[in-house]
Structure 1
Amino acid sequence: MDEHDKIPPLTLQPDGNVTTFTIHHVGREHGGRYYCSYRPQARSFTSSEPSNTVELLVLDLDLPRPSISFYPSTIALLGSRVTIQCQASGPRKIFYFEKAGNQRVQQFETVGDSGTLFFQNVTRDHGGKYSCSYRYPPESIISRTSDNVELLVRDPSFSRPTISLSSSGRPARGRTVILHCQSQSPANRFYLHKSEDHMAEMFIETNGTEASFPISIGNWGHGGNYSCSYCPELESFVISEPSDSVELLITDPALLRPSISLEPRGIALLGSTVTIWCQTRSRRKIFYLEQAGGQRIQQYESQGDRGRFVFRNVTQEQTGYYSCSYRYLALFFIISGTSDNVELLGLDPKLPRPVISINHSGLVAAGGQVNIRCKIQDGSAKFYLHKGGDSKTKEPMRSDANVGEVSISNINQKHQGSYSCSYTFLERPFVFSLHSDSVELRIAEDTQNSVPLSTKLCVAVLILFLSLGAILWYKRNKGQLAAAKSSAKRSFRLLKACWVTDPDRNLIDGGNHMENLSPEPDPPAETQYICYFELEHRAVSSPVEADPADSSENCV
């Protein structure tokens, strides 16, 4: 029977003590509250008290669906307070909240466009899936239900899981990263959470202790801090506390790569202090230091253009390869590419020093060969050869267990010097021993090649330049030389010598004749002078011979 008698009461002959009333072709008019009563067979006009009422709400598909939300989050700690809100536009309404399988939790009437349900002290039983709907009173027409939203209850008595991130290469747009979550005890479901979201990011059904969440990075929004939790066996909506968070940073190849350096440089004594600097051009960044394969170990916020990472007591575990990267403070989860690697090497003075030997004593002939050997007592090691005690320059030696060896062939002067060696154990490849004592390699001088090659090269270059200079001078003056040769006139003078006793004597008469003087075979003892007279002066184009006998002039 309808509580408001919108439809006439129905009477059915019971089949035993149960009767079913069926309403065919339900319409808006069928909505309302119903109750029932019965009449014993022996008492035809006496009926029982009415039953409790049930409400028949008729669904109207034309009404807008409401939305449902949880505050502060869809994950609540045991004993905390949670608010569930159902919202729909329109005038005065009655809201209905339902949990998991149409179990109506609460209904109330409100004059606003939202209805609110409070849990003042969350218990395990509050966990589940919730939805809501509404109707306009006094009509019994109801809207469709909202989406289902899960309320998860956290129990701090469960052990926390662990989370890790793995990626083939650095996370970048277009790549896929995998987040691994692991629990100590078996679970039937794992949840992935993002710190910026109040809802669980995703979940995976399982019956083990581990789950993997693949994330395809399609945009910058996938960057963030992620954690995970799990739902133990025999539980449905009660979960553990979250794991520690892992940061997913997305690499932007457009950002400039930083540079990295060590201070002090070289091998660091174990127990000493080492500073690693990461530097770039601009300011206000967070710098990240990574060790061996992308394991991020430190971060440093800087208002300047470089980050400083200090190891105050270097241990063998801290040795290895390091690189760094950075992100701007305003770009929360976008990071630069990594710098080049820098190698932090440790020196352990407690390691036994190796012993070095050379298979040749005295001078080594140029072009010959020597073998240098390095040895320790125990253990398998990798050996290195150093020249002149330089720790930075090291040449790997052929290592065989506790012995290292290197052969130097075609010996020349550049090989001369002192050599030492050091080693690292295979299980500690970045921790070096002290250097061995030194051995001296001396090269015998090659007499055939005593002149240094550099001097020979200088002489050859000088000769080449002189030859080129002579050729260029000849080519430049070739024409002038030919012209001078073709037009030249040769001149000569034929002179006759005479002995003269008196230098003041007039030897020329009238300027045209010469006075004759017969020369004596032995000149007189008094002061004498020799005088030359021009017998003939010619200018010819070819050589001629002048005969002194042809001249009739004599000395006077």
Structure 2
Amino acid sequence: MGGSARTPTLTVLLCLGLCWGLWDQAQTGTLPKPSIWADPSPMVTKGSRVTIWCQASLQADDYYLYKDRLFVPLETLDPSRDSSNKAGFSITPMSSHNVGKYQCLYKIGKILSQPSDLLPLAMTGQHEAPSLSANPGPVVALGGNVSLSCSSSWPRGSFRLLKEREADVPQHLEWMFRRERGQGIFHVDSVNTSHAGTYRCYVSPQSYPDSWSHPSDPLHLQVIGVYKEPSLTAQPGSLVQSGDSLTLQCHSETGFDRFALTKDEELRAPQSLEGQPSPNFLLGSVNRTHGGQYRCYCGHKLSSTWSAPSAPLGVLITGIYEKPSLSARPGTSVKNMTLQCRSEIWFDTFYLSKEGSLAPPQVLHLQDRAIPYQVNFTLSPMTSDLEGTYQCYSSNSNSSYLLSQPSDPLELLISVSNSQDYTMENLIRLGISALILMVLGVLLFQARHRQGRPQDAAGTYT
């Protein structure tokens, strides 16, 4: 098919062993090669439509497309209406006959361009989807290591790993055979922000390398530790009665619009981070399932990179068991005091909290297993800062975030005489000492003065 001298034409020739005659009839390689791409993707679902575009840097007279290094006819030949240096070759519906490696070139007058780069066109959806997983998990610390594993029941074939919105050639993974399943492993050492994103993998049989399976479920690889860690607080506090409402707040530097909360991850990275636009996490009416250790992260919308985790915040749920008793005992000296938390039921962990304090509760573990079960909390030094209302709780170490009812409140008052204000005491002592010295000085002066008078009188008489 041809066209006028300046109208781009898509020429299709059926190769019968004479394909390269076209190259012999024209000067070749003197024009820059065109670019070639597939829209919407070079991985085409079976039965769908794809357009192969060929674009030159100059206005061309004719375009040629060939497959597997031979010119082949296509069903539709559509020159672009909005550009004279681009032409589209449409394929619909996609079938196994269309898979292969494509190249294009263009002609101006009698001069042919260099051929474009190869464009592999693969058809997906031919076979059962493989599974894709990450080890140790899909959330990886910056600089850490991760392995992406693509697994299939196919005994032989090839695995390919693709990342969304990436122009890179699909990764070919090493084939392994484990437990009657083929497996391809892609190792990523020293993870950085470029590795974050959404991945899928495909498998193709050995005899049909361009006939790919359905894609695996997406795997979202997230990188943490990219930004400074936020802080996490609880409102009204981390010690909360079962049935009361609780809100966790993630505090970060300005500029972040995505926040995630995790629970009970200990030192391990979380298995996923599901972000929300608000830094406030409303837990609502809490129950025993809300007890545990929380961390938060901050990040940006539509990004797979996150901050380092906040310091852990322990949320303690009270009201689960019967209450213990709390009493005051004299300390080992006048400088301290002991608060004793006691339970008739066996518990091995006890907490002491002060009303209105932002500090986490004090924790002691049971040492003496004799009945009654009790621990002693030591308060020192005995200053007015210790005044307030105290309560204690009991718990078990195997469920340390679930606490008893609070003990009856104990109000602690520090009197002036017991406050050990040593500065005032020292001033008083110094004052008394000075007064005593003054009195002794006066008495000494008077005594010396009296002894001098009789001597003066005797001398005058003589």
What is the TM-score normalised by the length of structure 2? 0.64
Q: How do 1:424-503 and structure 2 match up within 5 A? A: 424=396, 426=398, 429-434=399-404, 454=420, 459-467=425-433
Q: Where in structure 1 are there 5+ consecutive unaligned residues?
A: 1-32, 36-50, 357-362, 441-450, 476-480, 493-540, 551-556
**How far apart, CA to CA, are the structure 1 residues paired with 2:134 and 2:419?**
63
For the 8 Å contact 2:244–2:285, the answer to whether it is kept is yes
Mean Cα displacement is larger for which, 113-122 or 332-341?
332-341
In structure 2, the partner of 1:301 is 277
**How far apart, CA to CA, are the structure 2 residues paired with 1:332 and 1:410?**
49
For the 8 Å contact 2:353–2:361, the answer to whether it is kept is no
User: Alpha-carbon deviation of 1:364?
Assistant: 9.3
The one-letter code matched in structure 2 to 1:236 is P
In structure 2, the partner of 1:192 is 161
User: Alpha-carbon deviation of 1:195?
Assistant: 2.9
In structure 2, the partner of 1:146 is 116
For the 8 Å contact 2:138–2:221, the answer to whether it is kept is no
* Higher RCO (CA-CA < 8 Å; seq separation 6+): 2
Secondary structure of 1:311's aligned partner: strand
Change (3 A) 1:308 1:190: farther
User: Alpha-carbon deviation of 1:465?
Assistant: 4.6
Alignment of 1:97 with 2:66, yes or no, is yes
Alignment of 1:236 with 2:209, yes or no, is yes
User: Alpha-carbon deviation of 1:70?
Assistant: 0.8
User: Alpha-carbon deviation of 1:456?
Assistant: 8.4
Secondary structure of 2:94's aligned partner: coil
Alignment of 1:385 with 2:350, yes or no, is yes
The one-letter code matched in structure 2 to 1:155 is G
Alignment of 1:106 with 2:79, yes or no, is no
**How far apart, CA to CA, are the structure 2 residues paired with 1:418 and 1:273?**
22
Secondary structure of 1:73's aligned partner: coil
For the 8 Å contact 1:276–1:308, the answer to whether it is kept is yes
In structure 1, the partner of 2:458 is 544
User: Alpha-carbon deviation of 1:309?
Assistant: 0.9
**How far apart, CA to CA, are the structure 1 residues paired with 2:292 and 2:377?**
33
Provide the identity percentage: 15
Alignment of 1:76 with 2:44, yes or no, is yes
Secondary structure of 2:429's aligned partner: helix
User: Alpha-carbon deviation of 1:162?
Assistant: 4.0
The one-letter code matched in structure 1 to 2:312 is N
The one-letter code matched in structure 2 to 1:300 is Q
User: Alpha-carbon deviation of 1:342?
Assistant: 1.0
**How far apart, CA to CA, are the structure 1 residues paired with 2:19 and 2:379?**
107
User: Alpha-carbon deviation of 1:343?
Assistant: 1.1
Change (3 A) 1:294 1:346: farther
User: Alpha-carbon deviation of 1:279?
Assistant: 2.3
**How far apart, CA to CA, are the structure 2 residues paired with 1:473 and 1:164?**
89
**How far apart, CA to CA, are the structure 2 residues paired with 1:52 and 1:460?**
114
CA RMSD of aligned residues (A): 5.5
User: Alpha-carbon deviation of 1:310?
Assistant: 1.7
In structure 1, the partner of 2:313 is 342
Q: How do 1:28-107 and structure 2 match up within 5 A? A: 55-56=20-21, 57-58=23-24, 60=28, 62-90=30-58, 91-99=60-68, 102-106=69-73
For the 8 Å contact 1:78–1:154, the answer to whether it is kept is yes
The one-letter code matched in structure 1 to 2:254 is S
In structure 1, the partner of 2:128 is 158
Deviations 1:63-120 (A, max 9, x none): 5333211111222222221111223345423413213xx3443388989544432112
**How far apart, CA to CA, are the structure 2 residues paired with 1:210 and 1:399?**
56
**How far apart, CA to CA, are the structure 2 residues paired with 1:290 and 1:424?**
23
For the 8 Å contact 2:318–2:405, the answer to whether it is kept is no
Q: Where in structure 2 are there 5+ consecutive unaligned residues?
A: 1-12, 177-181, 383-388, 411-416
Alignment of 1:214 with 2:181, yes or no, is no
**How far apart, CA to CA, are the structure 2 residues paired with 1:199 and 1:151?**
14
Aligned length: 399
**How far apart, CA to CA, are the structure 1 residues paired with 2:92 and 2:139?**
48
User: Alpha-carbon deviation of 1:246?
Assistant: 1.3
In structure 2, the partner of 1:16 is none
